[in-house]
């Protein structure tokens, strides 16, 4: 038995449950930089259809909901929430729970190789509990299973890993900026008013709006450079080649570490 989402005693180890609130609170610390990069430089917020709320709080609400669904043994529904509403958005607790449910065969067909790959993805930020569980499961696999875990882990990291998600966010901003300025990311167009559809009272001048996008791109490139060691001309994000950078990142993510 692996770590489960139920409350338990003081130790985190194979054969014991996990105290969810303490576990998730640690993840908030490790996730802070990713939250800021994925959402905004000023405040970590996400639109939920009415008002914007802190992203961490929204995710905690989804985690709590998924845990309640799990506790009432609706495993298929719980697996769907963990995998689609959390794991694919880069939530490490959700990624861990996908692995756990693959390992135990709850809500999904049992698959220790898939469990190993998801555990490894959950541990990419260095959270000790995730790494300990991932390492122990890895050592229980035979050579063929470890090779398959490597392959699946690379695939998952390219889709749902921190670096992949930050690059996707940077690409979205980059394309938005180019759609306004053409092939080069300049800022010489005339001002216009941007209306926030989620807040009828909020608006900003186009120059400010697109200036914020440029700052987000630069922050994300800073993160990518720090994460990978790849040299990027972060002082002038208007002239660098996103396509070239994406190719380098794809090659970087092919390598196991």
Range list of H helices, 141-231: 143-160, 162-181, 206-228
Phi, psi of 201 (to 5 degrees): -85, -10
Confidence of residue 55 (pLDDT cuts 50, 70, 90): low
DSSP 183: S
SS3 of 205, please?
strand
Structure confidence by residue, pLDDT tens digits, 218-253:
888 888 998 898 888 766 655 678 899 999 999 999
Are 18 and 65 a contacting pair, CB within 8 Å? no
Q: What is the pLDDT of residues 78-87, one digit of tens each?
A: 999 999 999 9
Answer yes or no: is pLDDT of 212 > 90.
no
pTM exceeding 0.85: no
Over 60: is that where the pLDDT of 158 sits?
Answer: yes
1 contacts 14 by C-beta, under 8 angstroms: yes
Does the domain at 20-160 match CATH 1.25.40? Answer given as: yes
CA-based nearest residue to 114, from 91, 87, 89, 132: 87
Q: Would the pLDDT of 191 be above 80?
A: no
Phi, psi (deg, nearest 5) at residue 233: -80, 75
Of 50-64, 116-130, 153-167, 189-203, the range with the lowest mean pLDDT is 189-203
The secondary element (H helix, E strand) that includes residue 191 is: none
The ranges assigned to domains in the chain are 20-160, 162-254
């Amino acid at each position: 038995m692996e770590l489960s989402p139920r409350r338990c005693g003081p130790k985190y180890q194979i054969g014991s449950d996990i105290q969810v609130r303490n576990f998730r609170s640690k993840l908030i610390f490790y996730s802070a930089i990713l939250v800021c990069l994925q959402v905004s430089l000023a405040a970590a917020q996400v639109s939920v259809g009415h008002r914007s709320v802190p992203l961490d709080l929204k995710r905690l609400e989804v985690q709590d909901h998924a845990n309640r669904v799990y506790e009432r043994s609706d495993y298929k529904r719980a697996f769907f929430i963990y995998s689609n509403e959390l794991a694919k958005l880069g939530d490490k607790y959700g990624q861990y729970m996908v692995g756990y449910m693959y390992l135990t065969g709850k809500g999904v067909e049992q698959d220790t190789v898939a469990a190993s790959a998801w555990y490894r993805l959950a541990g990419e930020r260095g959270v000790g509990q995730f790494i300990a569980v991932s390492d122990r499961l890895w050592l229980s696999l035979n050579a063929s299973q470890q090779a398959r875990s490597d392959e699946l882990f690379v695939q998952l990291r390219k889709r749902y890993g921190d670096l992949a998600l930050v690059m996707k966010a940077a690409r979205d901003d980059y394309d938005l900026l180019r759609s306004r300025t053409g092939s080069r990311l300049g800022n010489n167009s005339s001002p216009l008013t941007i209306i926030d559809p989620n807040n009828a009272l909020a608006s900003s001048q186009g120059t400010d709006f697109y200036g914020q996008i440029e700052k987000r791109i630069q922050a994300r490139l800073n993160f990518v450079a720090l994460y990978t060691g790849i040299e990027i001309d972060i002082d002038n994000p208007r002239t660098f080649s996103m396509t070239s950078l994406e190719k380098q990142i794809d090659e970087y993510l092919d390598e196991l570490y």
